[in-house]
Every structure is written in C-alpha cells, then in structure tokens.
A and B are shown apart, each in its own frame.
Chain A
C-alpha cells in the first residue's frame, strides 16, 4: 500500500526508476531531485544516488540519474494534476502535500506580490519529497503522561525538524480520539494547515485519525481553530507547528472556552519555546523529542512549573 502510494507521486513514465526504492518505503525518508544533479535518496539517514536503472549507489557514477528539466516538469505537472493554478497558494508556501500526506518541497525562482510577500515560484528546479510515516503506537510512552486523573492536559510537543513531531501528534490524536486504557475517547478536531497530519486527499484522511476526529484540511491555523470551536464542538483541538503572537492568542481563546489543545512546535528547549511567544502557563505538559542513535525518541516531559515527569 505504502509502496504504491510513494510510486504514485511520479508520472507513469518515471515509475520504473523508483520501483526498487519504494520497496524500502518503510526506511525511505526523502527523495531529492534537482535539475542537472544526480537524484538522491535518504534511507534511514543514509544518502544514496539513484541510478537510471532504478538501483541505488553510494557513489556518483556514469549510471547515476541526472534529472533533466523535462523530467522535473513532468513530475511537477503530475503532482499538480496539470493545474499549477490550482496549487498557487501551496506553491507560494513552498510545498505541496500529495495523497498519503507526503510533502513535496519546492524551490526555484520566487515571484513576489505587491506586498513583497512570496506569491508563487516559477522555474521550479529542485524538489524534496519527504515521505510521511504513520507509526501507530508512536505515542504509547507519552499517552499516560498527558492524563492527570483521567483529565487530558494541554500538551506541547517540541522538537527540531525531522524528529517525529507530526508522527507523534498523529498517533496522539488517534489514541485520544479512539480512547485508550488511560481514558475514554474524546471528540478531537484537527486543523491540518499543510495536510500533513491526516494526509487528506479530496477531504478524506489518508491516515488513521481515530473515530472521533474531525479534520479541517488546508485551513490556516488561527482561523481553523476558531471555526472548529464554533462548528464542531470539540473537546480537544490539535494543531501542528504553532508559534507567534496570533497562534498564541488563538490558543488562549480556545483554552478559555474549556477546550484542550495539543500542539507541536519547532525547538529544543524551554527557552526557545518562550522566545517564540508561547507562555509556560498555556500548556500543562511539554514533551521534548529528539534523536538518539539516529532514531526519533521522546527525550523528556515536564509540567509547566518545570517538574520533570519523564527523562
């Protein structure tokens, strides 16, 4: 299933080259494509070069596959369903999410709008396909720590990029929604701004989000949180990658309404969390994620007053 999902990212004529790579889809992290450069694949933090035959090599050789402009255009056309205009906003943000929740990062020449904000990207010449991994049970260690006498605590997951924040959040949502031995299932609402958490395609989540989960796909976080609060009567709202004044205000509004919040944030320490506008009193649990021996793990969890409950 996952193999086919990854293969479907590419147009039919290029799928043969990825046949071998997708067999290792469980270990596959990134596929990096740049015009006039050899195609690279990241398998369990190890870099390989993709050959024209589809095989992997540790060194660049004659058989390495150098991406041509037409190949890059063909991949982009397929990802955009031949309709770049329909992905104007996503391209402007620098990435497109494809079915399965995989994120395709793009770079090229930026087109600025009148307000000097990035409007679009033309001459897209580099692509980073980040493979999403749904790991059921990823939050097994954290789940008992975020309940206090059956009550769910507002929790912030903090980690540097690539340390499994979204994977952890996804599994937390599923377990909170379905219920676990620690608590009954709750009504969860997810604002999935980048379609990464649920991996929705045409409104249907590609990942298991639990039976009591409503997903608002592609909506900006601040607006989405308020919309869901008014319309879906959630007990818990989950969002990815918060930070900044507007996010803080929206979270505070939600907390005032008696709704719980589970969120993630880039960072690695409490100081970084504070510097990004998130007040210590807003969350009751801070879970820090990181890497140990190349694997994403839960490093520590502490309460808002600094009391460590997991290390």
Chain B
C-alpha cells in the first residue's frame, strides 16, 4: 500500500514538474503576445488619433491584460502633467518591478523597457514606424516560442512521466 502511494506520488510529482515547465513556457508566450499587442495598439493610436503617448497609455491600458495592466495604471498616475516625472524613469521603474518574476528573458525585458527611447519623432507616421522595429523583433521571438511550444511541450510532458516511471522502477 505504501509502495503504491509512493509510486503515485513520484508519478504525480514528475508530471507536475513537467506541467509547470510547460505552463512557464505558455506564460512566456502570453507575455510576449501582450507586449506585441501593446506596441500595435500604441502604433494604431499614434497613426489614427495622434494623441500624446500619456493619453494613449490610458486608452490602451483597458485592452491589455496580465501583469502589464497594473504597471500601465501606475505609469499613468505618475506621468500626469502635475507630477512632471520623466517617462523614461517611470516606465523603467514600473516595468522592471512587474517583469521581475516572469519567465521573460533579459533581452525581452530590455526591449520593453526601451520603449520610451523610441519616442521623440516629430511626426505621426515616423513615430508609428519607429515602433515597427520592436514589433518585428517580438514577432520573431513569438514565432520561435510557438514552434517550440508545439514540439517541446509534448516532449517535456512525456519526459516528466517517463522520469516518474523510471524512478518508480528503480526505487522498487
């Protein structure tokens, strides 16, 4: 009875570990897609409404989910005309905080933190196009992760279960 309980625990544990790894990968993909959505929404708003970026963040915030939502709300608060804070500092502070415990790589985090650097173009089209570079880079990463997800997630799950079975056999 105890052996059976042990086997179930081993199998459950290894499968659970594999499942967690897969979940991390899914979250990673989700965060990159939300980042991509943010850039494309900002680009559209710049092109069609021509509003300042502080107002765009307010409009875009309702359409973005995940951890970025709270970060964008904080950015909005700190960026008011009265506060007079620098966008670069506020953005960096808030985004670093929110992305700290995410599966995003350093390169991916830096790309999002670099967003204020792209601002400063004197006309709408130029500014909208300046964001295209970020989106291209993100598209590449998303594509890579999506392909990996299809193939690697199955492998990870199978490996997890196989490890559980192997350990059970060895320990019996």
Contacts and interface: CB of A to CB of B under 8 A. Distances in A.
B81 interface: yes
A38 interface: no
Given A8-B81, A11-B86, A99-B81, A88 B54 contact: no
Interface in B52-109: 52-56, 79, 81-87
The size bracket of the interface on B is 20 to 34
A111 B51 CA distance: 22
Nearest to B51: A86
Given A82-B52, A83-B54, A77 B123 contact: no
A78 interface: yes
Contact of B86 (A13, A83, A91, A111): A13
A110 to B, nearest CB: 12
Contact of B53 (A10, A83, A99): A83
A80 B81 contact: no
Interface string A173-202: 000000000000000000000000000010
B87 A85 contact: no
A201 B54 CA distance: 14
A85 B84 contact: no
Contacts of A86: 50-53, 124
Interface string A127-156: 000000000000000000000000000000
B54 A12 contact: no
B81 A91 contact: no
B120 interface: yes
Interface string A109-132: 001000000001010000000000
Contacts of A81: 52-55, 79, 81
B86 A74 contact: yes
B119 A83 contact: yes
B61 to A, nearest CB: 16
A197 to B, nearest CB: 20
Given A8-B81, A80-B52, A99-B81, A85 B86 contact: no
B159 interface: no
Interface string A7-51: 010111101000000000000000000000000000000000000
A122 B54 CA distance: 22
A84 interface: yes
A91 B84 contact: no
Nearest to A78: B84
B81 A85 contact: no
A4 B81 CA distance: 11
A85 B83 contact: no
Given A11-B84, A15-B84, A120-B123, A85 B50 contact: yes
A40 to B, nearest CB: 22
Residue among B51, B116, B122, B124 facing the most chain A CB atoms (10 A cut-off): B122
A85 B43 CA distance: 12
A105 to B, nearest CB: 17
B127 interface: yes
Contacts of B46: 85
B8 interface: no
A201 B80 CA distance: 13
A10 B56 CA distance: 21
B44 to A, nearest CB: 14
A11 B79 CA distance: 11
Contact of B82 (A8, A13, A82, A85): A8
A176 B83 CA distance: 36
Interface string A62-85: 000000000000100110111111
A85 to B, nearest CB: 4
Contacts of A82: 52-54, 87, 116, 119-120
Given A85-B122, A85-B124, A88-B122, A12 B53 contact: no
8 contacts: A4-B82, A13-B86, A81-B54, A81-B55, A81-B79, A83-B51, A84-B121, A88-B122
Interface of B: 46, 50-56, 79, 81-87, 116, 119-124, 126-127
Given A81-B53, A81-B79, A201-B81, 11 more contacts: A77-B120, A78-B84, A82-B87, A84-B120, A85-B121, A85-B126, A86-B52, A86-B124, A88-B123, A99-B81, A122-B122
